[in-house]
Chain A
C-alpha cells in the first residue's frame, strides 16, 4: 500500500513539475506608473473610485484592463510589453480629459517596452488649495481655498464641501468607516472652513487621518485634498 501512495505522489509531482517551460507564460513584469496631474501636481481622488482603461489591440477579443487611481492621484499597473491605448470612460473622475489631437481625441497611446513612468494631464473642475488641518481641543478644523479651474461652458457648481476624519489612511466619501464628517459653508470659496468634533471613542487614538472633499454638481466622483495625518 505504502509503495502505491509513494508512486502516486511521485507521479503527481512529475506531472506538476514537468510543464513549467511548455505551457506557462511568464507573468507580466513591466511597470507602468505615474500620476494623474494638473500643472505637474497630482490630482487627489477618492479611494477605489476613479479608473482608466488600457486597451491592447491586436489580440482578437478585446477586454479592457482597468487601472484604479490611488487616493493621491498616482497609479501603478504591471503589464506585458506592448502597445496600449489609455482612455478614461466618459464621466470618470472629477476632471475633464485633455484632447490630444483631432483624430485621436483624448486617447493616449503608450508603447511599453520596459518600466515606464508617465503623467496623464487632465483638467479638474475645481482644485482644493492650501488645505490645512488644525487640532484644537476636541475638534479638528479644516480650512482651504477652492479654485475653479474650468470656467468655460463646461463649468460646474459646487454641491457640497465635506471634511472627513478616519482612523485609517483611506479617507473618502465612499469609505464606510469614516468616523466623522461635516459639510462646510462655501459661499466664500477663498476661505472655506469647517470644524468637526472628534468622536469620544477616538479620543484615545494617537493619530487620525483627515482630508477635505468637494462634490461637484453633476459629477459623480469627488475631488479631494491630499490625506493628512493628525497627531492627537
Chain B
C-alpha cells in the first residue's frame, strides 16, 4: 500500500515540476524547415533555393528523356513500346503544351523575398535576382513558343478568400508582348549577370544575349512568315505578330547575336580542338574542359545522383556495357541531307545512273566524302564507338537475287559453300527487332564515350546543351539574311560549314532561305530546335502533311525545306556472295522503310499552338482558345 502512495506522490510532483517551462518547451526552432530570414541571409542557402528553380527549367528536347530529342521522324525509335509513334498520323492538339504557373509563382516569390534581404551582400543579391529574372523570362519564352501569348504574371498573387477570384484571372497578352517581355528582360539582366565564359550552368551575360537573339529571331520570323498562314492567328493578337514588326525583331536578334560574336560576353568561339572533324563535332557535347562553344547548359555530375541514361538507351547494342541500347536510329532522310565536302546535295550513291547497285569494298565507303557532321552525329555502318566497331549489316545477297538473313542478332545460317556463317550483324538491322539499328544507323550525338557511361550503376554526366555558339551564329546568319545582309550571313554560315570540313565557301548570292533551313536542320539536329523552326516558318503543315513518302521520292529534292518528313526510311548494307565474281565480299546498299512505319505524320493547323486545357479556361474564362482546334 505504501508503495502506491509513493508512486502517486512522485508522479504528481513530476507533473507539476515538469511543466514549469511550458513556453520554452513548445517554442522550438524547426529542424527540417528553414525560415525566410535564414534562407536569405546566407548566400549558400539562397543558392540552393535558386538551384531548385534552375532544376525546373523546361527543355523541349531533354537528355533525360531520349525520345524527346529525336521526334518528327529524324529518327526511328527501335523500342517495341514506341512503334505506335510511327503508326498514327495526327498529333494531338494538346501535344507539347505547358502551363506551369506554379513555377512562375515560385520564381516571383523568390524575387519578392530576396529583394528586401539585408544580410546578403549587394553583389550576391544582384546576381540572384538577375538569375531569377532570367529563369522567369526563359519560361515565358518556352510558354510563348508552345502556347502563343499567355497571361503575364510578375508578382506572387494571393487569394483573399472573398469568394470572388476574378482579380486573379488575367487575360492572355499578345504573342508579341510576351516576346517583347523576354527581350527586354534579357536586355535588363545582361549587365547584372557575370561575364564569365567558364560559368556554364548558371546564367551569364552570354546566356541572356543568346536567349534574346533566339527569342527576337523567333518573333521576327513569326511576323514575316505568319502572313502566309492567316488562319493561324487570333484577332486580338494572342497568336500571330503583325508583319510590320518583322524587321525590328530581326534587327534585335542580329544585334544581340553580334554582341556575343564580337566577344562582349566573353571569348565564345566554335569548338575546334581535334584534327578529326567528326570527332571534333561529337566532342562539343562531351568535352567539359575549356569548351568555349557551350554558353548555357544543364550540368550533370557522376556519383552525385544527377546523371542521365542517354548513353544506356542509345549505345550500340553489340558489346554494350549493359544489355540495352540502340533505341534512336537516325533516318536515311536525315543522313542523306548532309552535303558532300564540296557542298553539293547528293543522294547516298546506292545505284549508278543505269540503276545497277554500286559495289563497295568496305562497308563504310559509301559515306566517304560527306560533311564531317554526318559521322559526328550518326554512328554509320563500319564506324566505331568506344573503340568497338558496330556490326551493322543486313544479310547476304546471293547471285540468284535472293537474300539470306536472320531474325535474331548475329544469327548463323548456311550460305553457299561457306558452311554455317553469321548472316546478319549483331547490331542488326533486323526489321521489328527492338534495340537493333532498324534504319541501319545509331545516334552518336550526345553519346558519352567515357568507360562505364553505359552502365546503369554509373550512367552519363553529359551536358544538356541549351545554348551554344554555333546556334548564335546561325541565328545571326538568319537575321542578317532577312535584313538583306546576305554577305554577313554568308560569313557566319561559312564558319560553321568550314568547321564541318566543307571546302567550298558560300558567297552572298548562295545564301537563301532554303540554305538556312538546311544548315539549321543539320547542325542543330536532336537539339530540340526543329519543331519550333518549322512552326515559326509556318512550314510544319507542309513538311508533315500526312502523306506517306513513296520509295521513289525519298532521294529526291535533298535540302529542300518543304521536303516531306512524314516517315523515316532506312539504308541497309548487304554482303555479296558470288564466288568467282569480282564483287564477292563487297557491299551493296538498299533503301528500306522499316515495316513498323505504317503511319504518316500530319501536322494540322491547330497544332501550331498547343491547346490550352479546358480546366484552365474554366478557371479563367478570360483565356481565349487557340485557333483551329
Report the minimum CB–CB distance from A42 to chain B (whole Å). Answer: 23
On whether the beta carbons of B602 and A220 are closer than 8 Å, the reply is no
B573 within 8 A of A: no
A174 at interface, CB cutoff 8 A: yes
Q: Are B604 and A220 in contact (CB under 8 A)?
A: yes
Q: Is the interface of B mostly helix, strand, loop or mixed?
A: loop
CA distance A177 to B614 in the complex (A): 33
* Given A89-B628, A90-B627; A63-B599 close (CB under 8 Å): no
B533 at the interface (CB under 8 A from A): no
Bound together, the chains give a CA A89 to CA B626 distance in angstroms of 10
Size category of the B interface is 20 to 34
Q: Is B43 an interface residue (CB 8 A)?
A: no
Q: How far is the CA of A92 from the CA of B548 in the complex (A)?
A: 23
**Residue B494 at the chain A interface, CB threshold 8 Å:** no
Q: How far is the CB of A56 from chain B (nearest CB, A)?
A: 13
Selected from B231, B546, B606, B627, the residue in CB contact (under 8 A) with A174 is B546
B600 at the binding interface (Cβ < 8 Å) = yes
Q: Please give, as numbers and ranges, the residues of chain B lying within 8 Å of A174 by CB-CB distance.
A: 89-90, 546, 602
Q: Is the CB–CB distance between B600 and A91 below 8 Å?
A: no
Measured between beta carbons, the chain B residues less than 8 angstroms from A92 are 628
A90 touching B628 by the CB < 8 A rule? Answer: yes
- A60, A62, A174, A218: residue with the most chain B Cβ atoms closer than 10 Å: A174
B270 is an interface residue with CB less than 8 A from chain A: no
The answer, yes or no, to whether B162 is at the interface (CB within 8 Å) is no
Q: How many angstroms between the C-alpha atoms of A179 and B547 in the bound complex?
A: 12
| Interface of chain A residues 53 through 101 with chain B (CB within 8 A) | 60-64, 89-92
Asked whether any CB of chain A lies closer than 8 Å to the CB of B100, the reply is no
> A176-B89, A220-B604 known; A91 and B614 CB under 8 Å?
no
- Chain A residue nearest to B605 in the complex (CB): A220
Chain B 275-329 residues near chain A, CB threshold 8 A? none
Task: State the Cβ distance, B32 to closest chain A Cβ, in Å.
Answer: 37
- Identify which of A63, A177, A218 contacts B231 (C-beta below 8 A): A218
Query: Is A173 engaged at the interface, CB distance under 8 Å to the other chain?
Result: yes
B495 within 8 A of A: no
Are the C-beta atoms of B600 and A176 separated by less than 8 Å? yes
> Do A91 and B599 touch across chains, with their CB atoms under 8 A apart?
no
Please report the C-alpha to C-alpha distance between residue A72 and residue B604 in the assembled complex, in whole angstroms. 22
A212 to B598, CA, bound (A): 23
Residues of A in contact with B (beta carbons under 8 Å apart): 60-64, 89-92, 173-174, 176-178, 218, 220
Q: Which 8 A-B pairs have the closest CB atoms?
A: A61-B618, A63-B614, A91-B628, A174-B546, A220-B605, A176-B599, A91-B231, A176-B600
Binding site for A on B (CB under 8 A): 89-90, 230-231, 541, 546-548, 598-600, 602, 604-606, 614-615, 617-618, 627-629
What are 6 residue pairs bridging A and B, where the CB atoms are less than 8 Å apart in the complex?
Answer: A62-B614, A90-B627, A91-B231, A173-B546, A174-B546, A220-B231
